Chain A
Amino acid sequence: MLKIQKLHKSYPIGDSKLHVLKGIDLSVDRGEMVAIMGSSGSGKSTLLNIIGMLDEADQGDYILDEVPIKNLTEKKAAVYRNKFLGFIFQSFNLINYKNALENVSLPLYYQGLKRKKRIEKAKFHLEKVGLLDWASHLPSELSGGQKQRVAIARALASEPKLLLADEPTGALDSTTSHDIMAFLQHLNDEGKTILIVTHEEDIAAMCKRIVRLKDGIIMEDNFVNQVRATAHV
């Protein structure tokens, strides 16, 4: 599903360079739920950005679903992002002047789907996260957990091969965090491949595999017994 070999990335800081990723090897199979852990500065966000095609590696190979991701033009990257990936952000990143339904249908708009089809699909995914009744609400009228669920619906809307979550529970209290994790586990049970970047142990423990990064290299890569999050709703 996802194969990364000898990945290097450095950022220029003034005259010197900051070597963030120093040769990462990682492969993820279909249906996995992987937590990427590490303290801040360990390179976990950079790795996620490269996987998400928001950033490009200096060296190394990255193959996603048998498609080599290399030398992408902005346009091609946009098409791949739309087709392969669903993003979930810490700060939700919903567009504040669009209601829940419009937010969810946005990736479908960029897919070039007809309006009717788009609304139909967006409604389906909103229902899946249990927020169909809130379809016409603006993000400012939703709670944090609801916002993140709308964001998940948006990430799912384009039916991506891989869900990328960057600290999805970072801005939520523990109860809502568990709700969100329960939902992500549920999605994983249905077969979705999910990558979660987090620094919280209990969140990582709810995944099936934990990859620990430190100073740009993988320290540990273990399969764990998944802790089931119980929905508190």
Chain B
Amino acid sequence: MKFLFERDTWQEVYDSVSKNKVRTVITMIGVWWGILLLIALLGAARGMENSFNRLFGDFATNSVFIWGQSTSMPFKGFQEGKRVRLKLTHANKIKDNVEGVELVVPRNRNQGLVVRNFLSGNFGISGDYPMLDKIQKKKMIRGRFINQNDIDFNKKVAVISEEIYKQLFEKDENPIGTYIQMNSSNFKVIGVFQNGDRNMGPTDDIHIPFTTFQQIYNQGDRIGWMVITGKPEYNIKQIEEDTKLLLRNLNQIHPRDKRAFGSFNLGKEFKKITGFLKGMQFLTWFVGIATLIAGVFAIGNILLITVKERTKEIGVRRALGATPFEIKRQIVVEAVFLTLVSGLLGIITGGWILIAIDRVWGQGDDATLVNASVSISVVFVALIILVILGTLIGLIPAFKATSVKPIEALREE
């Protein structure tokens, strides 16, 4: 390996590469383009993944939403079309009986007029338990979220979204401890949270304790819907099936009644998207590597032509005492040098493209490609692949160069 650090080796490489600049540049474009494509595509795919993750970020992704609808089959004396309502007691039964359930979060929601002094607006009001925070992380700007104490004592407290704060309060006014009016009752504001998840279903503008909600809207133990999250090692689709079966049982509904309970399986949808992202990443690698191989082959091809053109020169060198190994080594070094330099240039320009992507699509809250980037390890892997491919492809012209006898090489005109 000592020869790699000798000036002469590189002088030889420089001489033969700079002898025909146009050809060298055209050769290098193949590999440069391949690695640029690989870096840019991988970065964009990563950006897409990041933005999806941000979208779902505050939400437990292995979860399913279930609500009651109406029956589609008569059962046990009940007519078809019976209204089905979920009850609070169901939640505990699900938690106890369905395997793999982590959390069952009952929720209620209403639309209502919210008044403060002379300002008012129509907003969504939800009755929630503190554990909502576990499946749908609330970013609190001020104050706190609902706690168990609020639930236990049916406290009239409200956590409002930043949006409502902007609409009902003066700028820089401290809302904590002030009162807003809902359904003719006064609620003390205890917290303000940041609106995230704008793309994730209806926005909850105001959260109040679940028990308080039951009281003021006279809900009894009925609940609007519930969110069930599964433990990571369990299949959320199975949990959904089991839960529905249990619910049908509890409500005296035909076991095969598909309409009685509606649901939205976030876990399933999320899997589809991550599957899509995986597929895209695979495609990116495939396209990138294929382009890279094509580029490396172009280098091999050009070197083969170069070797043919230099047959006589190689003959002269051998007459002067160059061993076949020295000739081969020189050509392989040239191949590796060309692939490596064009690869590095490709990585640099690929990086520039990612910077440009970040400037155009990666800024702000609703960015489509968040932090489009490629990890250093991927770059290293690409470089190692390049060196290996460069060596392999360099061997072809190298053997070609020494397969001609020096005497024949010298005769070549």
With contacts A93-B312, A97-B19, A110-B326 known, is A78 near B318, CB below 8 A?
yes
CB distance from B358 to the nearest CB of A (A): 44
Bound together, the chains give a CA A216 to CA B323 distance in angstroms of 31
Q: Is the beta-carbon distance between B321 and A49 smaller than 8 angstroms? A: no
Q: Which of A55-90 contact B (CB under 8 A)?
A: 55, 74-75, 78-79, 81-83, 87, 89
Q: Which of B7-47 contact A (CB under 8 A)?
A: 7-8, 15-16, 19
Asked if B407 is at the interface (CB within 8 A of a chain A CB), the reply is: yes
Bound together, the chains give a CA A74 to CA B147 distance in angstroms of 87
CB neighbours of A74 from chain B (8 A): 323-324, 402
Bound together, the chains give a CA A79 to CA B321 distance in angstroms of 6
With contacts A55-B407, A89-B410, A93-B410 known, is A111 near B324, CB below 8 A?
no
User: Per-residue 0/1 for B317-345: is the Cβ within 8 Å of any A Cβ (1 yes, 0 no)?
Assistant: 11111111110000000000000000000
CB neighbours of A49 from chain B (8 A): 407
CB neighbours of B320 from chain A (8 A): 81-82, 87, 106-107, 110, 154, 158
Asked if B316 is at the interface (CB within 8 A of a chain A CB), the reply is: yes
CB neighbours of B317 from chain A (8 A): 95, 106, 110
User: Which of the listed residues B8, B15, B320, B405 has the most CB atoms from chain A within 10 Å of its own CB?
Assistant: B320
Asked if B267 is at the interface (CB within 8 A of a chain A CB), the reply is: no
Bound together, the chains give a CA A192 to CA B285 distance in angstroms of 64
CB neighbours of A111 from chain B (8 A): 321
CB neighbours of A158 from chain B (8 A): 320-321
CB neighbours of B316 from chain A (8 A): 89, 93, 95
Q: Is the beta-carbon distance between A78 and B313 smaller than 8 angstroms? A: no
Number of A-B contacts (CB under 8 A): 62
Bound together, the chains give a CA A89 to CA B316 distance in angstroms of 10
User: Per-residue 0/1 for B379-413: is the Cβ within 8 Å of any A Cβ (1 yes, 0 no)?
Assistant: 00000000000000000000000100111001000
CB neighbours of B322 from chain A (8 A): 78, 110
Bound together, the chains give a CA A87 to CA B218 distance in angstroms of 110
Q: Is the beta-carbon distance between A107 and B321 smaller than 8 angstroms? A: yes
User: Per-residue 0/1 for A190-209: is the Cβ within 8 Å of any B Cβ (1 yes, 0 no)?
Assistant: 00000000000000000000
CB neighbours of A93 from chain B (8 A): 312, 315-316, 319, 410
Bound together, the chains give a CA A49 to CA B409 distance in angstroms of 12
Contact of B321 among A83, A89, A95 (CB under 8 A): A83
Residue of B nearest to A91 (CB): B413
User: Per-residue 0/1 for B355-373: is the Cβ within 8 Å of any A Cβ (1 yes, 0 no)?
Assistant: 0000000000000000000
Q: Is the beta-carbon distance between B410 and A54 smaller than 8 angstroms? A: yes
CB distance from A153 to the nearest CB of B (A): 12
CB neighbours of A110 from chain B (8 A): 317, 320-323, 326
CB neighbours of A107 from chain B (8 A): 320-321
Q: A81-B319, A107-B321 are in contact. List 10 more A-B contacts (CB 8 A).
A: A52-B319, A54-B405, A81-B318, A83-B321, A87-B319, A95-B313, A107-B320, A115-B7, A115-B8, A158-B320
Q: What are 23 sample pairs from A and B whose C-beta atoms fall under 8 A apart?
A: A54-B410, A55-B405, A55-B407, A75-B323, A75-B324, A78-B321, A78-B322, A78-B323, A79-B321, A79-B323, A81-B319, A82-B321, A83-B321, A93-B312, A93-B319, A95-B317, A106-B320, A109-B8, A110-B317, A110-B320, A110-B321, A115-B8, A154-B320
